Amino acid sequence: MVHIQQSRLKRIEILKLIIFLGIISAALTVLLRVENMLLSFLLAFVLKYTLAPVVNWAERQGLARSISTLTVFTLFFVTIGGLFYWTLPFVSEQITAFQYELPRYIEGTKELIFDIESKIEETINTSMELNLSAQTETLMVSWTKSIFEDIPQFLSKSLTTILLAPFFAYFLLKDSRKVQRALLDIVPNSFFELVLSLQHQINEQMGQFIRARLLEAVIVGSIVWFGLSLINFKFAYILALFAALTNLIPYIGPIIGAVPAIIIAFINGAPVILVIGIYAFAQLIDMLFIIPLVVAKIVNLHPVSVVIAIIIGAQLMGVLGMLVSIPAASVLKVTGQNVYHHLINFRA
């Protein structure tokens, strides 16, 4: 009789494991195969982890989870809508002005690169015939065409993503605990502690990491905007926004973010050293305070691991892969450590 009960319990455990792995596999397949689904969920998780501390605080004050989620969500989007309404005239005006002056900047960049190429040839006393200026002009024309012609089309195609992300985020905030409990109910007993520990650690780490990276982008963008505005630099607002967004890309992002302002400074005869100093100061604040005190302690990854993760992410998914490479590597590290300790303890 005891043997029959043990055999039955073992079959139930195996069935639970198959169901659990099946659900995880199905979810991953949907995310990777269905168009825009992965991006929608990534944006939803960013929103969820950004708003979760406020929702949790409101719930601790006595509000029901559904009411606190709805209230915080409403206030958040009203605030974002207000900021968008307030900044839209500035952004629209600067984009229009930049688009109007773009041919001059393309020609100026071409001449600048041609001068550098000529000086290098004079220095080494050899004609390299690289024709970098013409290649740069072709690339810039192609990129700017993509920015001003393809982005509206891209946004219209991404309308599904834009609508789905807040929809998913709302229910992730409201019902995430119920979903987690439902998944834990089908986890086999032998893996329950492992999955519970993983769920808690990954949830905490991802929340802290996303909030830290967003704070980092806001601080860098604000410093750049304030510095460029002080010297009355053209397009300060959109350049600061560009610097904030590119700063999310590890290592090469800050360089990419500074290049447009440096080129504009060269062409317009603005103080280039001062512009470089503004971007350098923003990165100095980032490297001395934000990364060591906030970001590095969260992910706890070796720099070599970070570089390898970024390269793999870029190869697999381009810019999006670079953005998610560090949190993905961190999740893999936490998972590997927990699985290892679980196996060691199980054997013991």
Q: What is the pLDDT of residues 200-223, one digit of tens each?
A: 888 887 888 888 888 888 989 999
pLDDT at 225: 93
Rounded Cα distance, 218 and 245, in Å: 9
* Confidence band of 83 (pLDDT split at 50, 70, 90): confident
| 324 pLDDT more than 60 | yes
217 within 8 A of 245, measured Cβ to Cβ: yes
| 137 pLDDT more than 60 | no
If you average pLDDT over residues 286-306, what whole number do you get? 67
Secondary structure (H, E, C), 134-183: HHHHHHHHHHHHHHHHHHHHHHHHCHHHHHHHHHHHHHHHHHHHHHHHHH
| 147 pLDDT more than 90 | no
Q: What is the mean pLDDT of the chain?
A: 77
pLDDT at 152: 56
Highest mean pLDDT among 173-177, 239-243, 294-298, 302-306: 239-243
Token reading at 300: 């706890």
Angle, helices 37-60/65-124, rounded to nearest 10 degrees: 130
If you average pLDDT over residues 215-243, what whole number do you get? 90
pLDDT at 305: 74
pLDDT at 279: 93
Token reading at 267: 């062409």
If you average pLDDT over residues 48-75, what whole number do you get? 89
Q: Is the dihedral of CA 297, 303, 305, 306 positive or negative?
A: positive
* Torsion from C-alpha of 213, 216, 222, 225, nearest 10 degrees: -80
Rounded Cα distance, 257 and 216, in Å: 14
pLDDT at 347: 54
* Confidence band of 280 (pLDDT split at 50, 70, 90): very high
Burial class of 220 by CB neighbour count within 10 A (0 to 12, 13 to 18, 19+) = buried
Measuring CA to CA, how many Å separate 23 from each of 17, 29, 175, 184? 10, 10, 18, 12
pLDDT at 141: 53
Instruction: Break the chain down into helix, strand, coil percent, rounded to 5.
Output: 90, 0, 10
Task: Identify the residue with better confidence: 307 or 26.
Answer: 26
If you average pLDDT over residues 246-252, what whole number do you get? 81
Rounded Cα distance, 133 and 326, in Å: 35
Flag the least confident range among 77-91, 96-110, 220-234. Answer: 96-110
Q: How far apart are the first and last CA of the chain?
A: 29
If you average pLDDT over residues 40-58, what whole number do you get? 88
Task: Return the residue matching tokens 């089309």.
Answer: 153
Query: How is the chain split into domains, by residue range?
Result: 34-186, 189-348
| 94 pLDDT more than 90 | no
* Confidence band of 75 (pLDDT split at 50, 70, 90): very high
- DSSP code at position 322: H
pLDDT at 325: 76
* Confidence band of 100 (pLDDT split at 50, 70, 90): confident
pLDDT at 133: 52
If you average pLDDT over residues 184-209, what whole number do you get? 79
Rounded Cα distance, 275 and 258, in Å: 9
Rounded Cα distance, 76 and 60, in Å: 19
